[in-house]
Structure 1
Amino acid sequence: MSSAPADRIVTTNLRNEMQRSYLEYAMSVIVGRALPDGRDGLKPVHRRILFTMHELGLSPDRPFRKCARVVGDALGKYHPHGDSALYDALVRMAQDFSMRMPLIEGHGNFGSIDDDPPAAMRYTECRLTQLSAQTLLTDIESDTVDFQDNFDGSQQEPTLLPARLPQLLLNGSSGIAVGMATNIPPHNLGELVSGLVALIDQPDISISQLNEHILGPDFPTAGVVLGRQGIRDAYRSGRGSITIRGKAEIETITRSSGVERQAVVITELPYQVSSQSLELKISELVNDGRLEGISDLRNESDRTGVRIVVELKRDAYPRVVLNNLYKLTPLQVNFGVTLLALVGGRPKVMTIKEALEVFLNFRIEVIERRTRYELNKVRDRDHILQGQLIALQHLDAVIAVVRQATDVPTAKVELMARYELSETQADSILRMQLRSLTSMEADRLVTEHEGLQIKILDLEDILARRPRVLELIKEELLDLKTRFTSPRRTIIETAEGELEDIDLIANQELIVLFTEQGYVKGMPCNTFNIQKRATRGKSGGKVKEDDQVQHFFSCSSHDTVLFFTNLGTVFALKGYQLPMGSRTTRGVPIVQLLPIPSEAKITSMLAVQDFNRTDEYLVMLTRQGYIKKTDLKSFAHIRTNGLIAIDLEEGDELRWVRLANEQSDILVGTAGGMAIRFHCDSEQLRPLGRTARGVRAMRLKNGHDCLVGMDILPWGQEAEGDLSEVSESTDPPELESEEVPVNQGVPCVLVITRNGLGKRVPADKFRAQNRGGQGVKAITLHQKGDQMQSLRVITPGDEIMLVTNRGIVIRQSSDEIPLRSRNAQGIKVQRLDEEDAIVGVTIVAESVDLSTEENSGGL
């Protein structure tokens, strides 16, 4: 045996060689086998299987093909590894208990949740599902992704698939690499689309806000997620532990002998837990004496679903047995989330927002590449059409050139020289048939050319403007949501003792002040104690001489406060997000809290407790008297940059917004002391969309009058008379000082003037009439320059707060304000300094406790 030549021996450090070789091996496993790509959410093996099936034409409308054929093609062309691993990956993509949305449709035995193995690949058949065909492989021929050589350079395979949905989160992924592992749970398609749309509309959205759209994992085997803290941890840091329970109920069953027994019936299992392993564990625990009270165990599962019956002994406590099953068996397991994927070719642990951003950036790139590909095709076709149209314009000369040429190359050169044509255009002219010379064909070419020019401009606009690309992505996502979404399967329950974010904030009643210059602050309601009528009150906060209080209302810390602008847009903040202050502070500019445009002004503010009320509406009234109502749920998800609430005519602006339902009545008042009442049902005011303008609410008597307010009669109090009997101009004779009796609990209308006069009028004194009328008198104004400032609906016992433009606040019981007729003038409610005036009235909720000692004195 001869020794190796000296020039072929390389001396190296063993430590360095082992380190380098192991690192190359580790990276090969990480990138090439174990971890999914953050963009299309697939590992190479899944990507190669799906691309192979696409090449074989196994679309959802084609016949099934043997799995052995798919495995063989993928193995021979793209994936040089074992056939069993390849087949296992194919089988998993077809199992509806492994994938939330299966990517392959299987025909034959593909295993079961009982841990039964699938049949051999020579027996089973497969094809692509509609979801994978339309969300993973569409546009793959449109130069949307890069291709690379396969392992031997004989074929080209895609480095990615042009995914339209975030497969990384939709179906999840798991894999163990060298020194790291990924474990991503599946999610609901509809929730993911909602989260992506919210991210497109609001790029700076927080993870907590995303969590309102993407509630948590949605496992194919359903089950129950116990607690939300693990979900929050996983979404915020990329790592977390989620507790999953199977669904079990305690039932009374009857044996064949007629004896009744209690039993724990399990109908849903935690994700990746087989019924066989659960049965085995229960049997072991019973035999070891660690689990007592069980007399029999039966698996009654069939094609309709899982049903495992754990029959109990006569003296067993069912709830104790069930709790022990949760504690000791796989009926309750922990799913350790590690949101790890390849980003830029490197492994990275991501938050839920980062994962969506990675997919969204990839989708933007795909749309731009597809658009560029389509643009080039359209330009090439239009280039040929332009040459053919030139030939038709000079038809006789072109025919003469072709007839005089000795051969085709000579004719082509002559045409290119005479008419400045490209080689492609000259070739297309020489290939034109005689039938294309007819006038009808010529018109068709002109029409096609004009259509292509329009399409070119549209495609160029998409490439030039990012908002167009994002809009296309939104349209595709919403279309896919409509076609493929399914209801959530996994229930998310709050664990015992677990606190929500909002639970950490005390729910207290607040008074919110907003000034004309845009300063806002909240104060605890018990900052102001009850005072006697006609006192001056004391300051509710520092207000600059050139500023004044514009809006004044009460809410709770947990409410959502809606800010409506004069431009018809709406913004939202939680009550606890408002800056808190004392009576001596001015507040914080609203522009520091919300991205309100400089030309917009806040004209109405409203607190909403629950957006899921299907019977509630937002009623909006503009300065020019247009009114409309819109479903409250339409405002459940308001972007950071606002939402359109109403369409306005030029010169009009949104002024008042209130909550109402179909049984409510609407009360609208004018500065001249007039008021109109009409029903809020669909006959008088039908529901309209967010972008609608509305209809006419009230007709003013003269050009000097204007609307000053709107409120709702939500108690369904019957108005005297009916619509057919009401005359706009008839007011019954009433004495100005007449005291009007009223029943306890019957709503009244509180009328307050700018000069501090006020009274209560029974609501039934305002008769219901048709929308669009002039209304009836609500108060008689005697003082010069006085006008009706506020029209509010109250009940006996309510407390009210009044604020002046200088920020002076007084709180008093509404019972101290006497009842008067509609024609009465009213009495002094608050004494005002010279040049001061009432600007706002709000009603304090009954839940506010005023009995604290610190508030027993005056302000």
Structure 2
Amino acid sequence: DLRDESDRRGIRVVMELARDANDEVIMRQLFRRTQLQTTFGVINLALVDGRPLELSMMAMLGLFLDYRREVVRRRTVFRLRKAEERAHIVEGLIRAIDIIDDVIALIRASKDPQEARAGLVGTLDFSEAQAQAILDMRLQRLTNLEKNKLEEEFAQLLADIEKYRSILGNPATLDMVVREELAEIRSGFADDRRTTIVDAVDEVSLEDLIPEEEIVVVLSRDGYLRRMPLEQYRLQGRGGKGVKGATPKVGDEAAIISVSSTHRDIYLFTTKGRVFAVKGHAIPEPRTGKGRLASQLISLENGESVVGMKDSHLHGAKFVFFITARGVAKRLPAEELENLTRAGRRVLTVDEGDEIARVRFSSGNDDIFIVTAKGQALRVSESEFRPMGRQARGVRGIRLMGGDLVVGCDIVKPGHQVLLVSERGVGKRTCYDEFMPHHRASGGCRAMKISPKTGKIVGSWGLMPDDQIIVMTNRGRVIRLDVDEISILGRTATGYRVIKVAEGDEVADISVIRTSEEEGE
């Protein structure tokens, strides 16, 4: 039985159920199939300093508090100015009453108000504002009673001025005013919440609401992610010290940089050989601060951390090529990276103490170029690495000597050069044709002469003549260059300064900005 017992006091609908009915199931069906409960998505997309940002609840409240602080500050500045102006006038009126005989005599001896005002200023040392107030004062205010009122007003004005200056001079006092005003609003208007906030988005595409723009994504060694607009970094000449970019928190260092888009996925590779996909717009763009831990964006296991990052644009590639720091290489079909979930997917079995050094996308018919920290390089055909499954460990890609480690890996393309950069910012371009192909697991040949002055090699990047690069140091200094600023030298040459690195700082990573449809790094 169903009855509508609604009246002027509110809505009331009564349902009488059969004895064997499950009331919880009935309620769930009512919530699901009727308008008894309505669910709607909320995307906190707002303009912050002219830029569209998706805000968390805490960020939104923080911005509101900043707004309230600014309102209170401006209001207090206005009130302070008015109080100081009024105190100045009242002080003049009190003094005028004290010497009223002189004031009256001067006014009576003047031909007009202008002469009287000039006399008050010049003879009795009143200000222009005080002189005008004295001329406007009525005779009834010359009594002792009026003087007492003016003195009380003056004392109150001085107290107000002190209070306003305290608010403006002490952030804690200003926050206390904001807190008290919010408490007043709450006491007058607060009631129980009528909706429930849940963390869900239904049938809403963020890409439709967020403008697509090129971004620079930075991962720190402690696992913090942040993004910045690429346009923030203007082109500079070779050898400069760069500009302040992704400044890490104290004790942390910038580690990996990648150029991507707010609409594309960023692949994150972990120490346990898993890969995750995170949308570019999901990575925070803080005006200040360290960003957000990767573990807050993806589901990492205990002891697992992100060690690799790459833009997801495959450019028609058919395979993903992995190389670890200890030289283990593996080729994986590119479709294994499709439809990644928050849980991630294992794509490589990594040995204890080893980690992914570089990830590249290949066509299946390319040559692979592997570079080590001590300046060795190996060019090898991709066909020497058979495709493997996601759980496979891989095979030896390059033979390493004397504690050397792999730091770079690239796909050899016609007309490209390889960029090599050292820890101290020394770099060069070299044509791939100077490196003859060898078999996998061999030691390769010298690619760059290194010394204590240059430091070890940081990595290698395949370049086209019209590319640009972004170089980032551990301390977050960033420089953007046209690649033609960097000389093309032989494979045994040392190179020239690409970025001026401060004492104690080192080059952390480089990302390539590519305008053509070929793969970027």
Q: Does TM-score exceed 0.5, indicating one fold?
A: yes
Offset at 1:585? 3.5
Choose which of 793, 796, 799 in structure 1 pairs with 2:465: 796
Change over 3 Å in CA distance of 1:545–1:662 after alignment to 2: same
SS, match of residue 502 in structure 1: helix
Q: TM-score, normalised by structure 2?
A: 0.60
1:672-711 matches, cutoff 5 A: 672-681=374-383, 684-700=384-400, 702-711=401-410
> Match for 1:590: what amino acid?
A
Offset at 1:845? 3.1
Which residue is equivalent to 1:835?
504
Offset at 1:782? 3.5
Offset at 1:589? 1.9
CA distance in 1, matches of 2:500, 2:281: 33
Alignment of 1:571 onto 2:276: yes
Alignment root-mean-square deviation, CA: 3.5
Which residue is equivalent to 1:539?
244
Task: Give the total of aligned pairs.
Answer: 340
Offset at 1:672? 1.1
CA distance in 1, matches of 2:507, 2:303: 26
> Match for 2:225: what amino acid?
V
Which residue is equivalent to 1:449?
none
Offset at 1:591? 2.1
Offset at 1:542? 2.4
Which residue is equivalent to 2:445?
776
Which residue is equivalent to 2:370?
668
Which residue is equivalent to 2:477?
808
Alpha carbons 2:248, 2:476 under 8 Å: kept:
yes
1:234-633 matches, cutoff 5 A: 500-582=205-287, 584-609=288-313, 615-633=317-335
Alignment of 1:645 onto 2:347: yes
CA distance in 2, matches of 1:23, 1:522: 54
SS, match of residue 647 in structure 1: coil
Alpha carbons 2:294, 2:306 under 8 Å: kept:
no
Change over 3 Å in CA distance of 1:181–1:549 after alignment to 2: closer
Offset at 1:816? 0.6
CA distance in 2, matches of 1:23, 1:811: 69
Offset at 1:505? 1.8
Offset at 1:821? 0.6
> Match for 1:707: what amino acid?
V
Change over 3 Å in CA distance of 1:37–1:624 after alignment to 2: farther
Alpha carbons 1:673, 1:778 under 8 Å: kept:
yes
CA distance in 1, matches of 2:204, 2:504: 51
SS, match of residue 633 in structure 1: helix
Alpha carbons 2:426, 2:454 under 8 Å: kept:
no
Change over 3 Å in CA distance of 1:181–1:547 after alignment to 2: closer
Alpha carbons 2:424, 2:453 under 8 Å: kept:
no
Change over 3 Å in CA distance of 1:816–1:607 after alignment to 2: same
CA distance in 2, matches of 1:675, 1:628: 18
Which residue is equivalent to 1:822?
491
Change over 3 Å in CA distance of 1:559–1:782 after alignment to 2: same
Change over 3 Å in CA distance of 1:618–1:624 after alignment to 2: same
CA distance in 1, matches of 2:438, 2:341: 38
SS, match of residue 800 in structure 1: strand
CA distance in 2, matches of 1:519, 1:499: 28
Choose which of 429, 432, 447 in structure 2 pairs with 1:763: 432
Offset at 1:649? 2.8
> Match for 1:842: what amino acid?
S
> Match for 2:410: what amino acid?
D
Offset at 1:623? 2.1
Deviations 1:722-743 (A, max 9, x none): xxxxxxxxxxxxxxxxxxxxxx
SS, match of residue 418 in structure 2: strand
Offset at 1:181? 7.6
Offset at 1:785? 6.7
Deviations 1:202-256 (A, max 9, x none): xxxxx9xxxxxxxxxxxxxxxxxxxxxxxxxxxxxxxxxxxxxxxxxxxxxxxxx
RCO higher in structure (CA 8 A, sep ≥6): 2
> Match for 1:557: what amino acid?
T
Alpha carbons 1:554, 1:845 under 8 Å: kept:
no
Change over 3 Å in CA distance of 1:543–1:511 after alignment to 2: same
SS, match of residue 692 in structure 1: coil
Alpha carbons 1:568, 1:647 under 8 Å: kept:
yes
Alpha carbons 1:567, 1:654 under 8 Å: kept:
no
Change over 3 Å in CA distance of 1:599–1:764 after alignment to 2: same
Change over 3 Å in CA distance of 1:537–1:754 after alignment to 2: same
CA distance in 2, matches of 1:769, 1:597: 39
**Percent of aligned positions with the same letter in both sequences?**
30
Offset at 1:610? 6.0
SS, match of residue 621 in structure 1: strand
CA distance in 2, matches of 1:601, 1:616: 27
CA distance in 1, matches of 2:298, 2:213: 23
CA distance in 2, matches of 1:641, 1:499: 22
Which residue is equivalent to 1:753?
422
Alpha carbons 1:566, 1:655 under 8 Å: kept:
no
Offset at 1:690? 0.7
> Match for 2:394: what amino acid?
G
Which consecutive residues of structure 2, in runs of 5 or more, have no partner in the other structure?
6-13, 35-40, 42-199
Of 668-677 and 624-633, deviating more is 624-633
Offset at 1:625? 1.2
Offset at 1:650? 3.2
Deviations 1:321-350 (A, max 9, x none): xxxxxxxxxxxxxxxxxxxxxxxxxxxxxx
> Match for 1:828: what amino acid?
R
Alpha carbons 1:558, 1:609 under 8 Å: kept:
no
Alpha carbons 1:661, 1:680 under 8 Å: kept:
no
Offset at 1:553? 1.1
CA distance in 1, matches of 2:220, 2:443: 31
CA distance in 1, matches of 2:389, 2:473: 36
Change over 3 Å in CA distance of 1:503–1:563 after alignment to 2: same
Offset at 1:847? 7.8
CA distance in 2, matches of 1:38, 1:636: 39
> Match for 1:645: what amino acid?
V
Offset at 1:512? 0.7
CA distance in 2, matches of 1:711, 1:846: 18
Which residue is equivalent to 1:851?
none
CA distance in 1, matches of 2:15, 2:488: 87
SS, match of residue 789 in structure 1: strand
Alpha carbons 1:515, 1:550 under 8 Å: kept:
yes
Change over 3 Å in CA distance of 1:610–1:748 after alignment to 2: closer
> Match for 2:396: what amino acid?
R
Choose which of 337, 343, 356 in structure 2 pairs with 1:635: 337
Change over 3 Å in CA distance of 1:569–1:820 after alignment to 2: same
Change over 3 Å in CA distance of 1:509–1:845 after alignment to 2: farther
CA distance in 2, matches of 1:550, 1:560: 19
Deviations 1:781-823 (A, max 9, x none): 1344711112110000100011111110001100010110101
Offset at 1:31? 7.3
> Match for 1:635: what amino acid?
L
CA distance in 1, matches of 2:263, 2:250: 33
Change over 3 Å in CA distance of 1:579–1:23 after alignment to 2: closer
Alpha carbons 2:271, 2:350 under 8 Å: kept:
no
